[in-house]
Amino acid sequence: MEQSKKALRYERIYAQLSALMPSCRTPVSRMASICAVLHHKMDVFFWTGFYLLEKGQLVVGPYQGPLACMMLEKDKGVCWAGLGKGMTIVVPDVEKFPGHIACDQRSKSEIVVPLFNRQGMTMGVLDVDSDRLEAFDQTDARYLEKIVTLVYSN
Ligand code: SME
């Protein structure tokens, strides 16, 4: 998608989600709503979901898309890397990412955005997969980082 069109679409999604959030403060409900909106409004999103840190493990949270791994092997793959670095990771080709965990063979590229609570603690990650190569760029990173802040906002 053209950069300006993509940015405009994210702006609309952000506005819609921001308006929705005050109706419910429960983080898991907010995550579910974020996944639903993103997944159905962004064309190349094949799997859209959260992995949450629970007792030192990354377990699947709310998501949209085909069945995915319920638990991710520790310190392996893109989600653990994003969590460990506390930074967004854009993977243009998952086959070139050492240790990538393939929950679905159709996934070709991926973006992982860490999720922080209001105290700055890392709670998990937002993970989006595409069935196309090089589906994600810095525009996705910028907007998805903004969108995940809604999970723990007022
Ligand atoms: N590919 C991820 C695993 C989760 S699935 O993409 C839904 C990873 O390498 O951590």
State the CATH number of the domain containing residue 44: 3.30.450.40
* Euclidean distance between CA atoms 65 and 128, whole angstroms: 10
Q: What range defines the domain where residue 18 resides?
A: 3-152
Give the pLDDT confidence score for residue 139 in this predicted structure: 97
What pTM did the predictor assign? 0.97
Query: CA dist 97 to 76, 89, 114, 138, Å?
Result: 10, 11, 18, 18
Q: Looking at the 3D structure of the chain, how many domains does it have?
A: 1
Q: Which atom of ligand 1 is nearest to the CA of 49?
A: 7
Residue with the nearest Cα to atom 3 of ligand 1?
101
Give the number of other Cβ atoms within 10 Å of residue 55's Cβ: 5
Q: How far apart are the first and last CA of the chain?
A: 32
- pLDDT at residue 2, as a whole number: 83
Per-residue model confidence (pLDDT) at position 3:
84
What's the pLDDT score for residue 115? 98
Q: How far apart are CA 154 and CA 8, in angstroms?
A: 24
Q: Is the CB of 68 under 6 A from ligand 1?
A: yes
What confidence score (pLDDT) does residue 1 get?
77
Strands 71-72 and 47-54: unpaired
Write down the pLDDT at residue 17: 98
- How far, in Å, from the CA of 90 to the mean position of ligand 1? 12
What is the CA(103)–ligand 1 centre distance, in A? 6
Single out the residue of 54, 66, 96, 105 nearest to residue 78, CA to CA.
96
Question: In tens digits, what is the pLDDT along the chain, a chain of 154 residues?
Answer: 788 899 999 999 999 999 999 999 999 999 999 999 999 999 999 999 999 999 999 999 999 999 999 999 999 999 999 999 999 999 999 999 999 999 999 999 999 999 999 999 999 999 999 999 999 999 999 999 999 999 999 8
